[in-house]
Amino acid sequence: MPHWILAAAANSDSNPFQSVLDFFQSPTWHFITLMFYFLLVVLWIACAYWVFKDARRRVDDKIILAVCVLTGIVFGPLGLIVYTIVRPPELLAERREQELEMQMMEQRLGEESRCSFCKTPVRDDYLVCPTCGRRLRTTCASCGKPIEPSWRVCPYCETDVHGALPPVSAYDRA
């Protein structure tokens, strides 16, 4: 039996509140309060650390990040609750991925080929512009597929198309 209970029993005759007073002066009570403060400090540090870890993944700005961490350190669990309410909803990695996707989409739109004369969007396999009739591509003499003016070899049949279109390719003759 802890000694404060024994003490309480011994002193119960003289003062009914003595046992209570004794308890609050006992080492047990000291230990309980110490543990309570210790747990509070641990909880505080854990909250601040969690806010720091989470904010680092969501906040790009160093000043805002510092404010978040300070909120966690100063207000502990309360700061954590406030932080979770006002924190940015998406992670930095997610945001970067979205931005990259947007960039790629814009690039694809920019790369869409257009008629050099009337700027009508044209498909890769058009031979002439459907709007102004300007010639966009020639055809391969060997396989008849559309060919870009800059190409040296037909990618479909390996025919050499550099310069004037030869009726029979050098590869075919070899």
Chain contacts with Zn ion (rule: CB under 5 A)? 115, 117-118, 120, 129, 131-132, 134, 140, 142-143, 154, 156-157, 159
Nearer Cβ to Zn ion (46/157): 157
Nearer Cβ to Zn ion (53/134): 134
* Least Cβ distance, residue 135 to Zn ion (angstroms): 10
At how many degrees (to 10) do helices 18-25 and 3-11 cross? 150
Residues 6+ apart with CB under 8 A from 140: 146, 147, 154, 156, 157, 159, 161, 165
Nearer Cβ to Zn ion (81/143): 143
* Least Cβ distance, residue 109 to Zn ion (angstroms): 19
For residues 45, 39, 84, 88, the Cα torsion angle rounded to the nearest 10 degrees is 20
* Least Cβ distance, residue 164 to Zn ion (angstroms): 15
Residues 6+ apart with CB under 8 A from 56: 65
Q: Which amino acid is at 23?
A: F
Q: Which amino acid is at 171?
A: Y
Give the Å distances, CA to CA, from 138 to 18, 58, 124, 125: 108, 53, 12, 10
- Give the three-class secondary structure for 136: coil
For the record, the structure tokens of 159 come out as 């025919």
Nearer Cβ to Zn ion (84/131): 131
* Least Cβ distance, residue 156 to Zn ion (angstroms): 5
Nearer Cβ to Zn ion (81/118): 118
* Least Cβ distance, residue 106 to Zn ion (angstroms): 24
